Structure 1
Amino acid sequence: MPAKTIEPGNPVKQFSVLLPNRAGALASLVKLLRGAAIEVVGISVQDSRDATIARLVVTDPDTAEQIFVEKGIPHTTCDLLVISLRESGPELLPVLDTLMVAETNIDFAYALMPSPQGHSLLALHVEDYDFAVTVLNSAGFKLVCQEELSR
């Protein structure tokens, strides 16, 4: 189990962006962000017939939100719990078991791009963010804040 660390800082912000379901829509969004020196460090895409929901974690969420508002890009935000895993396979089960014992539900999860230190990053949206932070910190897991993703 990882050493106990409590990281100060802001929660990681996720954007859920509504995109038309057509070739190049996601690439155009990433190019728009990159034009403002914003990198996408996490992505999950849910496809449907008419539209796509792209869940994005970016290096500069404040500027990204300004761009989305200025360009009229439909989006919502939520806080994610991000855990740094030195070994992605072996460390996943203890995270899930810890949350299960605490009776905390996971709404969705996905992997982010590896951290600059090469660690795997697991993004979780949980039913009670503050409670899950307390539980995982108490169990010794390394939580990542937004400032650590803003490379």
Structure 2
Amino acid sequence: MDETTTLNPGSPVRQFSILLQNRAGALASLVKLLRNNTIEVVGISVQDSRDATVARLVVTDPDTTEQIFMEKGIPFTSCELLVISLKEAGPELLPVLDTLMIAETNIDFAYGLLPSQNGRAMLAMHVEDYDFAVSVMNQAGFKLIYQEDLSR
């Protein structure tokens, strides 16, 4: 492996947070807009309130997604996620959490992604220091997922 590959194995997974009106079909319309542009949603987390819904999405093509949102006037924010591939969803969760705890790295939020093409579970986490968390998880031997791994 060359030095560049070792230092930069891939782009961070990007998550979009979108504020949607709390009405029937709003999320489906958003997913349909993306799908009509050959973009698939591979991760989703929804936080509902009376007035609005915050949808967090991980997609197969974040660059085009950002362009669509800007063209359509859809307000959004984006952030980087640490994504770990798990051989076994249940038993591997605790070692992931323990590794981050020992490194004294906080997890702001986490949720599961849809299974990968090989059927493995994936855990997406927003951490306080992405680069540090990547280093810690690599040293601990965990399989990290990058945006290129999600683009189908």
Kindly report structure 1 stretches of 4+ aligned residues shifted beyond 2 Å: none
Give the SS at the match of 2:84: strand
The total of aligned residue pairs comes to 147
Give the SS at the match of 1:38: coil
* Root mean square deviation of aligned Cα: 1.2
Q: Specify the alignment match of 2:54 in structure 1.
A: 53
Alignment map for 1:136-151 (pairs within 5 Å): 136-151=137-152
Deviations 1:60-116 (A, max 9, x none): 000000000000001000000000001000100000000000000000000000010
Alignment map for 1:66-77 (pairs within 5 Å): 66-77=67-78
Partner AA of 1:121 in structure 2:
M
Partner AA of 1:136 in structure 2:
M
What is the TM-score of this pair, normalised by structure 1? 0.95
What is the TM-score of this pair, normalised by structure 2? 0.94
Give the SS at the match of 1:114: coil
Give me the whole-angstrom Cα distance separating, in 1, the residues matched to 2:7 and 2:54.
Answer: 32
Q: Specify the alignment match of 1:12 in structure 2.
A: 13
Q: Specify the alignment match of 1:105 in structure 2.
A: 106
Structure 1 unaligned regions, length at least 5 = none
CA 1:22–1:53: 2 relative to 1, 3 Å: same
Structure 2 unaligned regions, length at least 5 = 1-5
Give me the whole-angstrom Cα distance separating, in 1, the residues matched to 2:43 and 2:135.
Answer: 24
Greater shift, 134-143 or 7-16, is seen at 7-16
Q: Specify the alignment match of 1:63 in structure 2.
A: 64
Give me the whole-angstrom Cα distance separating, in 1, the residues matched to 2:56 and 2:126.
Answer: 11
State whether residues 7 and 145 of structure 1, in contact with CA within 8 Å, keep that contact through their aligned partners in structure 2.
no
Q: Which has the higher contact order (CA 8 A, sep 6+)?
A: 1
Give the SS at the match of 1:9: coil
How far is the alpha carbon of 1:49 from its aligned partner? 1.2
